[in-house]
Amino acid sequence: MGTMTNTNAEYGADQIQILEGLEAVRKRPGMYIGSTSSRGLHHLVYEIVDNSIDEALAGYCDTIEVCILKDNCIQVTDNGRGIPVGINHKAGLPAVEVVFTVLHAGGKFGGGGYKVSGGLHGVGASVVNALSKWLEVEIRHEGKIYQQRYERGNSTSPLKVAGECGKEETGTKVVFCPDGEIFEETVYEYSVLRQRLREMAFLTRGVRIKLSDEREGMEREEEFHYEGGIREFVTYLNKNKEALYENVIYCEGEKDGVYVEVAMQHNDSYNDATYSFVNNITTPEGGTHLAGFRNALTKTFNAYAKANKILKENDATLSGEDIREGMTAIVSIKIQEPQFEGQTKQKLGNSEARGAVDSVVSEQLTYFLEQNPAVAKAICEKSLLAQRAREAARKARDLTRRKTALENTSLPGKLADCSDKDPKNCEIFIVEGDSAGGSAKTARSRATQAILPLRGKILNVEKARLDKIYGNAEIKAMITAFGTGIHEDFDISKLRYHKIIIMTDADVDGAHISTLMLTFMYRFMPELIKQGYVYLAKPPLYKIEKNKKVWYAYDDIELNRILAEIGRDGNNKIQRYKGLGEMDPEQLWETTMDPDTRILERVTINDETASEIDITFTTLMGDKVEPRREFIEANAKFVQNLDV
């Protein structure tokens, strides 16, 4: 892994560039950390940890500790060389002080010096300092302990030697407290940090990352350490699936200054779960590195299948999609100067990355397939099955496309549409069961609320091939009702309702049905969720009656609050709703559908850990019962990472 260290550039206190002050950061924090929401808050931690990861990549650090302290302050410690304390002559200050008080300080933007991680996001320590109420740094270097404190970006006194330590004891410790004047949210979420830190550990083979929480009543700790790196990442992502072959395929190499690592393994599902990273940062929109990988994969498998007569002369070549069906893969590259493109700057543009990944993967995958003919054959045969299914699906889809073209907008028969035609005003309730659907139709406000009842459990799209999915009545009904089309036909401007509301019973079955629907939407029209159009209705759990007055409680806490208020005595009548069907239309309207009184939860996806969402869906939808039961028991809100 030493390939990325720039051994020629000698790091020194003078090499740090000075650009501008930190006021700019406090004025426009969003420019530097994306947002001042919870996401930006967590981003501060990653910015700091990135520096320790760089030290690990350079080969000088193997342990990083992150701790959430009592007041939602964060402590990050590593056992690296320690940030340099010598005087930087341009600034006339110790290098460490420059790192924390000058924007863009560090080798990152100057070339040479250090740097691997970061890239787009790596704006660094000074930004974190500027956005912290206070920050303290402690460096152990050559037997001395150095300390400095800053408040809102400014040092409160010069760097001082605060004590002594063993000569071998080196490292950096940073404690910071995010500024409540800047952030809308200042409470850290352990599970959010856990996901990203685990990902960093997978991506940085061998490094040990410890995470702990010291907040009262929330104490816990974990350690992430993967000697197998991204190979173990793939195993982890496939943990609830059946692997098609035992060993994860792994390729590694360097070309044209691009360090390439790829790990992959097929499983019994039908989705392509490929995640790409540049300098440890996820690239949800892919880019040249992903294109290089896909090209190599398609080329290599077709060449193998032809040479070994798995594909006959007149057979159609395998498409990339066929080969990637049911494949989990990590593509991780490290590059000196990543260029990001696209609207959200999440797509890699460097052209040398395409060639580097293509060449490393082609060469090593060809060799692997020759050495492992049984695995090669299994993948080729799965791809051939996928090819046939895709052909069948195309025919089924052409049929539905033609039909809609002929009949224009023929909406599903079960849909009770609304009369308003402006999507902004319109909402559609997807309702579990015909009987609840009936109540909802009676209760609704006809102008703006449409009702689509679905019978029983909808098809599990995780467990079905496309031809079957396109043939499914409930799924077809949703697709035509929404109006957007799916996959490459998807067009958000055709969306017929700006609120898609999933309404199911408030029990385990209802949660399962909601998840089936969310899975379908996530796989076929993810933009609906990403752009915030999808909601969960929240029906009440209890009805409380006393002296002809009625209250509804949406959870046990609320029930107890109401009972405390009205007094716990024999006049209370408490009804626990078992399902939507037990409510009459008026009650359903009042408690769950009336925009003035109902509770809606918007479904959101956290982009930064897309790989975890996949696990969530497979855990909930897959064959293995035990992980699902554990998962549901462990998650009161039935989906983790779907921050509902």
| Residues of the shown chain interacting with ligand TSJ in the complex, contacts defined by CB under 6 A | 11, 48, 51-52, 55, 76, 78, 80-81, 83-84, 99, 114, 125, 172, 174
Q: Which helix (H) or strand (E) holds 116?
A: none
Tokens of 391: 């052909």
The burial class, CB within 10 Å (0-12 / 13-18 / 19+), for 166 is: exposed
How many secondary structure helices (H) and strands (E) does the chain include?
20, 26
Q: 117 or 616, CB closer to ligand TSJ?
A: 117
Q: 22 or 536, CB closer to ligand TSJ?
A: 22
Distance CA 390, CA 287 (A): 25
Q: 76 or 249, CB closer to ligand TSJ?
A: 76
The closest of 486, 469, 476 to 270, measured between CA atoms, is 469
Helix (H, G, I), strand (E, B) or coil at 453: strand
Strand partners, 330: 263, 275
Residue 472: CB atoms within 10 Å: 16
Q: 55 or 432, CB closer to ligand TSJ?
A: 55
Residues near 292 by beta carbon (within 8 Å), at least 6 away in sequence:
353, 354, 355, 356, 357, 358, 361
Contact 260, 352 (CB under 8 A): no
Q: How far apart are CB 9 and ligand TSJ at their closest, in Å? A: 9
The torsion of the CA quartet 436, 437, 443, 448, rounded to 10 degrees, works out to 140
Q: How far apart are CB 411 and ligand TSJ at their closest, in Å? A: 56
Contact 532, 602 (CB under 8 A): yes
Contact 580, 503 (CB under 8 A): yes
Q: How far apart are CB 69 and ligand TSJ at their closest, in Å? A: 14
Q: How far apart are CB 212 and ligand TSJ at their closest, in Å? A: 15
The closest of 542, 578, 583 to 561, measured between CA atoms, is 542
Q: 104 or 468, CB closer to ligand TSJ?
A: 104
Q: Which helix (H) or strand (E) holds 609?
A: none
Distance CA 261, CA 277 (A): 10
The closest of 195, 352, 208 to 275, measured between CA atoms, is 195
Cα–Cα separations (whole angstroms), residue 642 to 66, 331, 509, 612: 24, 24, 18, 10
Helix (H, G, I), strand (E, B) or coil at 560: helix
Distance CA 356, CA 467 (A): 36
Q: 188 or 233, CB closer to ligand TSJ?
A: 188
For the annotated catalytic residues, the residue numbers are: 432, 505, 507, 509
Contact 562, 541 (CB under 8 A): no
Distance CA 119, CA 254 (A): 19
Helix (H, G, I), strand (E, B) or coil at 442: helix
Q: How far apart are CB 6 and ligand TSJ at their closest, in Å? A: 10
Beta-strand ranges (E) seen in 473-621 are 499-503, 534-537, 542-546, 549-553, 573-576, 600-602
Q: 100 or 259, CB closer to ligand TSJ?
A: 100
Strand partners, 348: 287, 340
Q: How far apart are CB 51 and ligand TSJ at their closest, in Å? A: 3
Q: 59 or 456, CB closer to ligand TSJ?
A: 59
Residues near 463 by beta carbon (within 8 Å), at least 6 away in sequence:
269, 621, 622, 623
Q: How far apart are CB 26 and ligand TSJ at their closest, in Å? A: 18
Q: 83 or 369, CB closer to ligand TSJ?
A: 83
Q: 129 or 364, CB closer to ligand TSJ?
A: 129
Q: 125 or 192, CB closer to ligand TSJ?
A: 125
Distance CA 476, CA 485 (A): 10
Name the closest residue to ligand TSJ (Cβ). 11
Tokens of 266: 């097929």
Distance CA 642, CA 644 (A): 6
Q: How far apart are CB 279 and ligand TSJ at their closest, in Å? A: 15
Q: How far apart are CB 192 and ligand TSJ at their closest, in Å? A: 19
Q: How far apart are CB 118 and ligand TSJ at their closest, in Å? A: 10
Q: 50 or 358, CB closer to ligand TSJ?
A: 50
Distance CA 118, CA 46 (A): 9
Q: How far apart are CB 286 and ligand TSJ at their closest, in Å? A: 29
Residue 357: CB atoms within 10 Å: 30
Distance CA 58, CA 115 (A): 9
Q: How crowded is the C-beta side of 76, counted as CA atoms within 13 Å?
A: 22
Q: How far apart are CB 16 and ligand TSJ at their closest, in Å? A: 10
The closest of 550, 542, 454, 465 to 502, measured between CA atoms, is 454
Eight-class DSSP state of 317 = P
